[in-house]
Amino acid sequence: MASKKNVQVTHISPRTRALHMALISVVSVLNRPDVDERLVHEAGIALDRALFPLLVMIERLGSIGIVDLAGRAGRDYTTVSRQVARLETLGLVQRRASETDARVRAVTVTPKGKSMTDALDAARERMARKLFAEWSDAEVDTLVSLLQRFATDIEAQASGKGRA
């Protein structure tokens, strides 16, 4: 007699599936090396494409510990530590004792690093203008507003502070 396996049936609504597929598409594009290289080229900077996302995160988030940075980047702590050391050698970031926990070494962007993220921001703005050329200002504003709300809610849920 054939055995019956207990297989969990997973249901997902069409809306949740569509959202998930859209997010996969967006993240897939954002994680592509050639897209990173185009942004670095458009910014006119010389920086390894593996380093610039970390530099931007440090600039955006302010003083941040390596463990937190690694978690946010989805990378291994030792890898991020080596990459931050490289950014430090380039004079783009500096490490110092955290203001909130003396046991933690926090990373902050230097003026030279800020200058580099400013160039990346200018390039990102030029690229966004091309991307949204056929969108109305209201459509772009709606997208930004909803994405900000989504980001806030998903971060709260991930930290256990939001609705399950």
Q: Is 108 helix (H, G, I), strand (E, B) or coil?
A: strand
Output the average pLDDT for the chain. Answer: 89
Domains: count for the chain: 2
What was the pLDDT predicted at 2?
Answer: 55
Nearest Cα to 147, choosing from 16, 18, 19, 14?
A: 19
Is 66:105 a contact under the CB 8 Å cutoff?
yes
pLDDT higher than 70, residue 104 = yes
pTM: 0.80
Burial class of 18 by CB neighbour count within 10 A (0 to 12, 13 to 18, 19+): exposed
**Calpha distance 103→12 (Å, rounded):** 44
Range of the domain at 163: 134-164
User: Are 125 and 159 in the same domain?
Assistant: no
Q: What is the CATH number of the domain that holds 118?
A: 1.10.10.10
Does residue 31 form part of some domain?
no
- 105: pLDDT confidence band, cut at 50, 70 and 90? confident
What was the pLDDT predicted at 25?
Answer: 94
**Calpha distance 162→160 (Å, rounded):** 6
User: Are 65 and 90 in the same domain?
Assistant: yes
The residue whose two tokens read 């580099």 is 116
- Note the pLDDT tens digit of each residue in 27-84: 999 888 899 889 999 999 999 888 989 999 999 999 999 999 999 998 999 999 999 9
